[in-house]
Amino acid sequence: MRAAPTILHLDMDAFFAAAEQAAKPSLRGKPVVVGGLGPRGVVATASYEARRFGVHSAMPMAQARRRAPNAAYLVPRFAFYRSISEQVMELLGRLSPLVEPLSLDEAFVDLEAGAQADDSAGARRAGERLRRDILATTGLTGSVGLAGSKMIAKIASEEAKPDGLVLIEPGTERELLGPKSVRILPGVGPATGEHLRRAGMTTVSDLAEAGEDELVRLLGRSHGASLYRMAQGHDDRPVVAERDAKSVSVEDTFDVDLHDRLRIRMEVERLAERCVGRLRGSGHSGRTIVLKVRRYDFSTLTRSETLRGPTDDPVVVREAAGRLLEGVDTTGGVRLLGVGVSGLADFTQEDLFAQAEAEARAGAQATGEAPGGAEASPDRPPEQVETSEAGTDGAEAPPERRWSPGHDVRHAVHGPGWVQGSGVGRVTVRFEVPGSAPGRVRTFPVDDPELEPADPLPLVGGGEGPAAVA
């Protein structure tokens, strides 16, 4: 633990959704949901306006639509988000040579290594300057936590949301952590949390009072000792400069050995979903799916399958992990399961979401109706105009003329804009650019030769950050 709060944690506010609000003036201050729009799509990010309706990341998209039917539902533009992330990471690099990115929108910074701060006042100045620079450069807001350790800095940034800064003075960690849920500590997932709850420990102060010996008895030597130190507020992990990740994985140890084959399969599928969430958060995809099974006798089996190309599609990863499980004998019981992805690649996800959309359209065509049963109308909210390939005369539009909600286009007469939705042979476009007033909406045939896909326009820095209005 450090004597001064010189570890900084930055977490951009509702990053994907905020970037879309900044790029699309008509969406500022309105609920925006970004994610896969196919039948099995999940929410990647929800704006703070959408969160008021109970929408959150990792929620099935169908459930999000029920909770916030009038929100704008957009396909992610990961190349666009990555370009903004690079600007933010460059600003972090000015603070210190020790920057540890966790995902496109989150990172630790060692201010001490950059000679930016050696006391609380200096750390606060550095954090406030960073927030101003991010707003001036990108027009977006980020929340900053400052503390003497990584664990406490991350907790502080969460308390600072949205668009704030919280500094935790070293020496006050136990007071801060005491009343909080045990789930706030790194390494305490659903299974461990439930195990602790059954033992009568629900808060961090409960762990501290139980003592190290009791936690070791409940959780084992390594996990129990580590958890006791964290409950005391101790975390000596250093900030590690960026390095190439080789794999992403998640695993769970079960309190009681699993014997039911269906339950084991369900746990593998759940782990696959979590693994993909972590994979996407790191901005990667991967081509090798790995299954880890530790059996009742502590023997550990690892099986892997290499795909033809990199993926971050939860369906693909889930099905591959399921196939690997079929070749594993689980007779006698399973103590631990894990799913991982290796062979990582820097791979954007638009094509995968487009594939899910294509599957949804194919299913809709088979039943003769548009997905969701909605007709296209320029007056409907964004993405309430659903996607369909069928024209009004029953003829199919050329397969290459697909318009994903939220993606950029340019019209030969009207200039740049973005797709609100498409259906029954038409595509609806709102013509506006970052920094402009909300633009006009026009509708065109899906095969209009004057309408073309376009690259995203850069954000206008220094304006009203979209998260600032939340």
**How many angstroms separate the CA atoms of 103 and 107, rounded?**
7
Cβ(17)–Cβ(73) below 8 Å: no
Based on the residue annotation, tell me whether 106 is a catalytic residue of this protein. yes
Domains and their CATH numbers in the chain? 187-231 (1.10.150), 247-281+285-345 (3.30.1490.100), 358-453 (no CATH)
Record the tokens describing residue 116, joined without a space. Answer: 């930016």
b/e map 178-193, b = 16+ CB within 10 Å: beeebebbeebeeebb
The mean pLDDT value for 433-439 works out to 93
* Nearest to 150, CA basis, from 118, 186, 114: 186
294-304 per-position pLDDT tens digit? 988 878 899 99
pLDDT tens readout for residues 249-291: 898 888 788 999 999 999 999 999 999 988 887 778 898 999 9
- Over residues 105-127, the pLDDT tens digits come to 999 999 999 877 789 999 999 99
Q: With CA atoms as reference, report the closest residue to 223 among 207, 243, 245.
A: 207
Q: What percent of the chain has pLDDT over 70?
A: 85
Q: Please, what is the average pLDDT of the chain? A: 84
Residues 6+ apart with CB under 8 A from 220: none
What is the pLDDT confidence band of residue 401, given thresholds at 50, 70 and 90?
Answer: low
The answer, yes or no, to whether residue 49 has pLDDT greater than 70, is yes
Instruction: Tell me: pLDDT of 462 over 80.
Output: no
> CB count, 10 Å around CB of 257?
14
Q: Dump pLDDT digits (tens) for 188-245.
A: 888 888 989 999 999 999 999 999 999 999 988 888 998 999 999 898 889 988 665 6
Which tens digit of pLDDT belongs to each residue from 140-180?
A: 999 999 999 999 999 999 999 999 999 999 999 989 999 99
Predicted TM-score (pTM) of this structure: 0.69
Highest mean pLDDT: which range of 20-24, 98-102, 312-316: 20-24
Tell me the average pLDDT across 42-68: 93
Considering the candidates 49, 106, 357, 386, report the single residue annotated as catalytic: 106
The answer to whether the CB of 53 falls within 8 A of the CB of 71 is yes
